Structure 1
Amino acid sequence: MKPDFSAQQFGKVAVMFGGNSAEREVSLNSGQAVLDALHSKGVDAYKFDPAEQPITALVEQGADRVMIMLHGRGGEDGSLQGALQQLNIPYTGSGVLGSALAMDKVHTKQIWQCLGLPTAKYRIADKRRFDAGSCGAIMHELGNVVMVKPAREGSSIGMAKVTSAKLLETAVKQAFDYDRHVLIEQFIDGPEYTVTVLNGVALPSIRMSTPHVFYDYSAKYQDSTTEYFCPSGLSAEWEQRIAALSLQAFEALSCDGWGRVDLMQDTHGEFFLLEANTVPGMTQKSLVPKAAKAAGLSFEDLVLQVLATSLQGRD
Structure 2
Amino acid sequence: MKIVVLAGGLSTERDVSFKTGDMVSKALRENGHQVILLDVFMGYSDKREDVTDIFEKSEEASIKVSDIPEIAPDIAKVKASRKDQSDCFFGPNVIEICQMADIVFMALHGENGENGKIQATFDLFGIKYTGTGYLSSAIAMDKGLSKQFFRSHEIPTPAGFIMTKENRVDTCSKLGLTLPCVVKPCCGGSSVGVSIVYKDEEFKAALDEAFKWENELVIEEYVKGREFSVGVIDYKALPIIEIAPIKGFYDFKNKYKAGSAVETCPAELPDEITEKMQRYAEKVAKVIGLDTYSRTDFLLSEKNEIFCLEANTLPGMTPTSLLPQEANVIGLNFNQLCEKLIEISLKKYEK
Relative to the length of structure 2, the TM-score reads 0.82
> Which residue of 136, 141, 162 maps to 2:173?
136
Is structure 2 residue 156 aligned with structure 1 residue 121?
Answer: no
- For 2:348, what is the secondary structure of its paired residue? coil
How big is the alpha-carbon RMSD for the aligned residues of Structure 1 and Structure 2?
1.6
* Map of 1:262 onto structure 2: 297
Larger RCO (CA under 8 A, 6+ residues apart): 1
Which residue identity does 2:41 align to in structure 1?
Answer: A
* Map of 1:184 onto structure 2: 219
Q: What is the number of residues matched between the two proteins?
A: 302
Q: How far does the alpha carbon of each residue in 1:104-145 deviate from its partner, in whole angstroms, 9 at most, with x for none?
A: 111011111122210011121111111223x2244x54x311
* Map of 2:24 onto structure 1: 34
The question of whether the paired residues in 1 share the 8 Å contact of 2:247 and 2:260 is answered with no
Q: How far, CA to CA, are the matches of 2:320 and 2:216 in structure 1?
A: 30
Q: How far, CA to CA, are the matches of 1:243 and 1:157 in structure 2?
A: 26
- For 2:243, what is the secondary structure of its paired residue? strand
* Map of 1:307 onto structure 2: 342
Query: Could you tell me how far 1:236 is from its partner in structure 2?
Result: 2.4
Alignment of 1:275-286 (within 5 A): 275-286=310-321
Is structure 2 residue 286 aligned with structure 1 residue 296?
Answer: no
* Map of 1:236 onto structure 2: 271
Relative to the length of structure 1, the TM-score reads 0.92
> Which residue of 300, 309, 316 maps to 1:274?
309
> Which residue of 76, 87, 96 maps to 2:114?
76
Q: How far, CA to CA, are the matches of 2:94 and 2:290 in structure 1?
A: 27
The question of whether the paired residues in 1 share the 8 Å contact of 2:144 and 2:161 is answered with no
Q: How far does the alpha carbon of each residue in 1:238-266 deviate from its partner, in whole angstroms, 9 at most, with x for none?
A: 22111111110122112220110000001
Query: Could you tell me how far 1:223 is from its partner in structure 2?
Result: 4.4
Question: What stretches of structure 1 of length at least 5 have no aligned partner?
Answer: 1-10
- 1:205–1:274: structure 2 CA closer, same or farther, 3 Å change rule? same
Question: What stretches of structure 2 of length at least 5 have no aligned partner?
Answer: 44-89
The question of whether the paired residues in 2 share the 8 Å contact of 1:70 and 1:279 is answered with yes
- For 1:161, what is the secondary structure of its paired residue? strand
The question of whether the paired residues in 1 share the 8 Å contact of 2:246 and 2:262 is answered with no
Q: How far, CA to CA, are the matches of 2:207 and 2:286 in structure 1?
A: 30
Q: How far, CA to CA, are the matches of 1:25 and 1:260 in structure 2?
A: 20
Q: How far, CA to CA, are the matches of 2:255 and 2:321 in structure 1?
A: 8
Query: Could you tell me how far 1:12 is from its partner in structure 2?
Result: 1.3
* Map of 1:17 onto structure 2: 7
- 1:271–1:196: structure 2 CA closer, same or farther, 3 Å change rule? same
Q: Percent identity?
A: 33
The question of whether the paired residues in 2 share the 8 Å contact of 1:125 and 1:172 is answered with no
Which residue identity does 2:155 align to in structure 1?
Answer: L
- For 2:225, what is the secondary structure of its paired residue? coil
Q: How far, CA to CA, are the matches of 2:155 and 2:265 in structure 1?
A: 25
Q: How far, CA to CA, are the matches of 2:94 and 2:150 in structure 1?
A: 38
> Which residue of 59, 62, 80 maps to 2:100?
62
Q: How far, CA to CA, are the matches of 2:95 and 2:340 in structure 1?
A: 22
- For 1:19, what is the secondary structure of its paired residue? coil
- For 1:113, what is the secondary structure of its paired residue? helix
Q: How far, CA to CA, are the matches of 1:47 and 1:105 in structure 2?
A: 29
